[in-house]
Amino acid sequence: MQINKKIIKWITLIMILFIILLCTGIFSLCVGASGIPLRKIISFFFDKNTGVELSIIFDIRLPRIILGFAIGGALSIAGVILQGMFVNPLVEPYTLGISGGAALGVCLGISFKLTNKFGILSMPVLGILGAGMVIILIYFLNIKRGLFKIYEVLLTGVMISFVSSSFVMLIMAVSGAEDLRGIIFWMMGSLEEPNWLLIKISVLISVIGLLASYSLSISLNALSLGEDNAQHLGINTETTKRLLFLISSILTGLSVSICGMIGFIGLVVPHFSRMLVGNDNRILLICSYLCGAIFLILCDTLARTIIAPLELPVGVITGIFGGSLFVYAITKKRTL
């Protein structure tokens, strides 16, 4: 009976978050430099109208909302995975250098103009490869006697993050004006991606990442108790850690390569999700995914409306609000 009540509570919460996500998406469709009433947006789906407003909805706002859903969820899932593995609330893709590796891969792609040679898909591939290389480097630097001790990884990851950032700055220093402009614009973070192929790939990989991480949710719960306790519970910790690192690196590499350096989502959203649902990853992963999507869509809406018709980088908004919310969360925990 108690288990049934918990499941009912979880389902109710997920439904509420879905409704909030839907309302957030509708709100984002309506507001902007050119406000469009909801009834007119609904009519666009039934009438074969053409015009500026139709183009604004389907060519500008809807792609950003869908991309915000995918990237916000992906970064949140990566944060939940890494914080659960390290049992450390400060760990996120940026802390471990995963984002830095992805950024380095993309910057190299921009400098060598690989998009012109291999097509638009080269960017997410380079981002995922860069993030993967960092994970592989961290793994082999910290493996001892065939065992990978995650408690010794954090300092290595921080140092790799600094090294990656230094290489990115080196590339910027030697780049021409056009490449430098492209790197700077990309690093500030934006959901302005008109290519529907990249958007579809982002949604697909993001959802697959959620499903894959959810299949490991019980193992992640055990790892949150410590590696020794997880082994006593029958968890193959080495295989689980490799799979979780792989999932987080793919999700982070994808997010950074397509939308740039959007910070604080992987750090803040898991915190607030835990305050809402607790530490059980069976519900925490889904809740964080939806909350991350809601948060990024709202931040992007604010970024393109606060000084309309000009647009702020969404990374600026997530940094300001994410950092403020994180300080609030830490302060509230201390007062409880």
pLDDT for position 94: 82
pLDDT of 71 > 60? The answer is yes
Cα 201 → chain centroid: 14
| Cα→Cα distances 183→106, 108, 178, 259, 260, Å | 9, 10, 9, 12, 9
pLDDT, one tens digit per residue, over 219-230 is: 999 988 877 788
Query: Quick count: other Cβ atoms within 10 Å of Cβ 318?
Result: 28
CA gap 322, 108 in Å, rounded: 29
| Cα→Cα distances 243→107, 135, 279, Å | 27, 11, 20
Residues in the chain: 336
What six digits make up the tokens of 257?
């390569």
pLDDT of 138 > 70? The answer is yes
Q: ∠98-101-102 over CA atoms, to 5°? A: 90
**Inter-residue contact 101 to 126 (CB < 8 Å):** no
> What contacts 67, CB < 8 A, 6 or more positions away?
191, 193, 199, 202, 258, 259
What six digits make up the tokens of 100?
């830095």
CA gap 21, 26 in Å, rounded: 9
Tell me the pTM.
Answer: 0.91
pLDDT for position 64: 94
**Inter-residue contact 92 to 78 (CB < 8 Å):** yes
Q: State what percent of residues in the chain have pLDDT above 70.
A: 93
Helix (H, G, I), strand (E, B) or coil at 18: helix
Helix (H, G, I), strand (E, B) or coil at 166: helix
Cα 152 → chain centroid: 24
Task: Give the residue extent of every domain in the chain.
Answer: 2-335
Query: Quick count: other Cβ atoms within 10 Å of Cβ 110?
Result: 20
**Inter-residue contact 124 to 254 (CB < 8 Å):** yes
Instruction: Tell which wins on pLDDT, 96 or 253.
Output: 253
| Cα→Cα distances 166→34, 104, 107, 126, 162, Å | 41, 9, 12, 18, 6
pLDDT of 15 > 90? The answer is yes
pLDDT for position 244: 92
CA gap 92, 80 in Å, rounded: 8
- Band the pLDDT of 79: cuts 50, 70, 90: very high
pLDDT for position 232: 84
CA gap 182, 172 in Å, rounded: 10
Instruction: Report the topology of domain 2-335.
Output: ABC transporter involved in vitamin B12 uptake, BtuC (1.10.3470)
Helix (H, G, I), strand (E, B) or coil at 195: coil
Helix (H, G, I), strand (E, B) or coil at 91: coil
- Band the pLDDT of 192: cuts 50, 70, 90: confident
What six digits make up the tokens of 305?
């409306």
Give the chain's mean pLDDT.
85
Residue ranges in the chain assigned as alpha helix (H): 2-30, 38-44, 52-55, 62-86, 98-111, 114-118, 122-142, 154-174, 177-187, 196-215, 217-223, 227-232, 237-259, 265-277, 281-305, 314-335
Which of 73-87, 162-176, 280-294 is predicted least confidently? 162-176
Average pLDDT score over residue span 270-284: 90
- Band the pLDDT of 115: cuts 50, 70, 90: confident
